[in-house]
Structure 1
Amino acid sequence: MVHLFSRQVYPSVRQTTEETLVDTANLLAEIVAFDLQDEKITPEYLQKRMQSYQQRNPKAKIWDVEKSDVSLNVYITDKNGIVLFDSENRAVGQDYSNWRDVYLTLHGQYGARSSKGISKYDTKGVSSIMYVGAPIYHQGEIIGVLTVSKPNSTTDAYIASAKSELTFFALILFGTSIVVGAILSWWLGFSFRKLIDYAKKLGKGEREVQPQFYGKDLNVLASTLSNLREELDGKEYVEHYVNTLTHELKSPLAAIRGASELLQNDMDKETQRKFLDNIERESARLQNLIDRVLKLSMVEQKQSLESSQSLNLAILMAEVLDGFASLIQQKDINVQCSLPKNLTFIGDHFLMTQALSNIISNAIDFMPNDGRLSIDGKLNNHHIEINIHNEGSQIPDYALSRLYERFYSLPRPDSGEKSTGLGLNFVKEIIALHKGEISIENKDNGVNVCIHIPKGHR
């Protein structure tokens, strides 16, 4: 584009110069018309005036270009094309009738030409000179031609200045375009990388808040990905739970059905009461399983906390332990809770109560009578670290990797019964909603549960 514009500078300046020469030639032609018609043209007088003119210093500043001399030359021919006057005093008496500027003007047309010639303004000695002729009239007839000439090299400085300024602004525009393009490219790259990371996390089933972008289309795309993930999750979720729940319901339903069939036969009161207790126990098991599944499904469908508040860990744990007071007293468990009173974090009160209750419940279930339950916490790099350690049988190695698996459970030491196998999965989902982590490991003749929760997460 700079090259194309630069190519237009040269002809534009030339055209402007030619237009000025046309005005000058016609003005001078009108001035000398009276003298030429009476054949009173005095070359010596005109030569003197031209010399005075050529010695002038205009002291002009045009477009930051200093002009310190004048560069017009003039020659006059009669109606036959013979030179009567030449400001350069070289062509008087010569026949210029075939020169384009003279020939066309004598024939009533616009006469102009550009020819090579010697000029003091050209360092190379040979310059392109522009000639413009104007007719000299007497009573409507052309009696001569006045031609004004100007070396084209005198406008080179203006052309160079225009090109230089054009190039300067073009470079500024080019640099600005690069900066804007770089910023736009970085923004698009950053936005797409952010969108790709979001899509990858959705693909892995991770919870992630939908990112916001400066642009409607990217936000719509992110929202579409989120909706698509939710729809796919819902479909997979239903399929998975229909299969797993059906499997888990088979055992208690079979027990209830078997007991009900046996109750139709004649039997003693003690045996009858035994089967009725079995039906009641299996019904409670079914109810517990359904309740747990509903709670877990509610948590799993959440992408973020809907409500949060500042929670004091010591107060929260005291509420949880109060709920297990009778069971703790029954098993004569020694509870040592040493939580600092200033440990606070942002979270959902109900969900965190449910999570800690599940952990305490599991700890008590797997503890022997007279066992010790230790609870402590501390602030660690803007994270609250909670450790819940129970003395008792350790988790078998084969089960460590399956603790968070849905419907997987270990038999309780006292009764040999298994739970629904949804508790720890429920806890993990709640901790994940709080942007935290949970780990369970065998430690010091027991099991230690460690929870990390960001202090300021909302």
Structure 2
Amino acid sequence: MRIGLRLLLGFFLVLGLALFVVLRVLLDEVKPGTRLAMEDSLVDAAYTLALLATPDMKAGAIANGSFAQSLQGLNDAQPGANISGFRKDGVDYRIVVADAQGIVRYDSRHEAVGQDFSRWNDVARTLRGEYGARSSPASPYAPDSTVMHVAAPIRDGDRVIGVLSVSRPNARLEPYIQRSETRILRWSWVLLGLSLGIGVLFSWWIASSLSRLRGYANAVARGERVPLPVLGRMSGSTEFSELAQALERMRVQLEDKAYVERYVHTLTHELKSPLAAIRGASELLQEEMPAQDRQRFAGNIQRQAERLHQLVDKLLNLAHVEQMQGLVTREPVNLSALTRELLQRLEPRLRLKSLRVRDALGEGQTVQGDPFLIGQALQNLLDNAIDFSPPHGELEVGLRRDGAWLEWSVRDQGSGIPDYARERIFERFYSLPRGEGQDKGSGLGLCLVQEVSQLHGGELRVENVSESRGCLARWRLPA
């Protein structure tokens, strides 16, 4: 299982468990809390009304006194109140007054007058001087329709002479409870969805950052030239960016070490042959010999020294290009004009071998890139074509657009690439004989072209021409 999915599942599990516990507690407390609030208001009402009923209770006129007359229209009252979206068109209070024996002497609904309420907790406990309250069904046939009763004592001095009980159906609270529970559930789902979205975002960020760093490390391990991954604004100066910088420093140090070791090894190997030739010729020149032989050995020293010079120059250029992670300079480069300029510089070599050039470059064909690097790459491709061309041969240099690409090509009429060398022509220091009387090349030219091509996002192919002798080098660059 991927780390992003693990993080998301873990986050969702912890969040879901926490939300479930909180939601369960809230829902379990909504109904009891609302009923406790109603009981609190009933206590206030009961004690207030008990004080108002005390004079009539003392006078024995509770059933038809001023208290009863004041509450005569209670059942018919229509408040017309709009309580947070709920319409209230009646008074839900029921007021019952019982004497010291628990016999009902007054009932605001005129239903229980004369009945014995001494067995009910609200009346019985109040008569004993305790707090009296109860919640019981309004009817034995409707056990769910409970009514809350809260009683207050009616006193004559320190003596309890009666009990006033105020009751209200619990069902009147259900709309408020239901709405509160609905709102809690709705916002819980919103919170869950929002938290899930944040969890997905952070899980994606972590997984994406790790994936980019992993891809970068794998690409470096494969020897590819890749830039340090951009982790985005969310990463900031977090451990991910620090890890990326640490990977980059490690890559640079490892590549530098391996690069130096590889080049020291290969350079030592390649320098052996010209140095041995120079040493042998110099030892022979110390002896007496004819002037013609002396001139021949001196020329050999000069050629080998020039070969060493070219080898070092190309090696330095290749090392510079290989260490580049991307293009520093990017500007329009006119391939047509640049190729013609290079051909003018190569005019002496072309004349020396009596080579003709067929120009199919067109006009104004440009790409975005580094003019110096592109010029070096084209120079190497043209050098190869000249070196492998037979005398009195022909070079065909062309440039054409292929969709989103520009394809530069050069074709010679040489013997082509031998079968055994087709897979090795881009290897460093691998070189083929360049014709009769010519020394082997440095084996670095095509390596340099390949590196420059990769920096520019291009494609390089060198292959034999099937219909006739010769070799065709094609370099495709984004237009």
Instruction: Quote the residue 2:34 is aligned against.
Output: 13
Instruction: Quote the residue 2:469 is aligned against.
Output: 445
Instruction: Quote the residue 1:148 is aligned against.
Output: 166
Instruction: Quote the residue 1:210 is aligned against.
Output: 228
Q: Matched residues in 2 for 1:263 and 1:183: separation? A: 78
Q: Matched residues in 1 for 2:402 and 2:205: separation? A: 35
Quote the offset at 1:321 in angstroms.
Answer: 0.9
Q: Structure 1 unaligned runs (5+)?
A: none
Instruction: Quote the residue 1:34 is aligned against.
Output: 55
Q: Matched residues in 1 for 2:294 and 2:270: separation? A: 26
Instruction: Quote the residue 1:301 is aligned against.
Output: 323
Q: Which moved more, 1:415-424 or 1:164-173?
A: 164-173
| 8 A contact 1:79–1:142 mirrored in 2 | yes
Quote the offset at 1:257 in angstroms.
Answer: 2.4
Quote the offset at 1:125 in angstroms.
Answer: 5.8
Q: Please, which of 409, 424, 428 is the counterpart of residue 402 of structure 1? A: 424
| 8 A contact 1:113–1:131 mirrored in 2 | yes
Instruction: Quote the residue 1:63 is aligned against.
Output: 84
Quote the offset at 1:144 in angstroms.
Answer: 2.3
* Residue 370, structure 1, aligned to residue 395, structure 2: no
Q: TM-score, normalised by structure 2?
A: 0.87
Quote the offset at 1:77 in angstroms.
Answer: 2.4
Q: TM-score, normalised by structure 1?
A: 0.91
Q: Please, which of 271, 286, 297 is the counterpart of residue 293 of structure 2? A: 271
- Report the CA distance shift for 1:42/1:251 in structure 2 as closer, same or farther (over 3 A): same
Q: Which amino acid aligns with 1:276?
A: A
Quote the offset at 1:383 in angstroms.
Answer: 1.3
Q: Please, which of 286, 289, 308 is the counterpart of residue 308 of structure 2? A: 286
| 8 A contact 1:256–1:278 mirrored in 2 | yes
Q: Matched residues in 2 for 1:254 and 1:63: separation? A: 103
What whole-Å deviation, never above 9, does each CA across 1:266-287 have from its counterpart, x for those lacking one? 4444434433333332222222
Q: Please, which of 77, 81, 88 is the counterpart of residue 98 of structure 2? A: 77
Q: Please, which of 174, 179, 189 is the counterpart of residue 192 of structure 2? A: 174
Quote the offset at 1:251 in angstroms.
Answer: 1.4
SS in 2 for 1:340: coil
Share of identical aligned residues, percent?
A: 39
Instruction: Quote the residue 1:162 is aligned against.
Output: 180
SS in 2 for 1:27: helix
SS in 2 for 1:52: coil
Q: Matched residues in 2 for 1:224 and 1:177: separation? A: 33
Q: Matched residues in 1 for 2:342 and 2:136: separation? A: 106
Q: Please, which of 332, 336, 352 is the counterpart of residue 358 of structure 2? A: 336
Q: Please, which of 153, 163, 166 is the counterpart of residue 135 of structure 1? A: 153
- Report the CA distance shift for 1:36/1:48 in structure 2 as closer, same or farther (over 3 A): closer
Q: How does 1:345-424 map to 2 (within 5 A)?
A: 345-424=367-446
SS in 2 for 1:53: coil
Q: Structure 2 unaligned runs (5+)?
A: 1-18
| 8 A contact 1:106–1:145 mirrored in 2 | yes
What whole-Å deviation, never above 9, does each CA across 1:346-391 have from its counterpart, x for those lacking one? 1111111111111101100111122111111122222111111112
Quote the offset at 1:132 in angstroms.
Answer: 1.1
CA RMSD of aligned residues (A): 2.5
- Report the CA distance shift for 1:253/1:388 in structure 2 as closer, same or farther (over 3 A): same
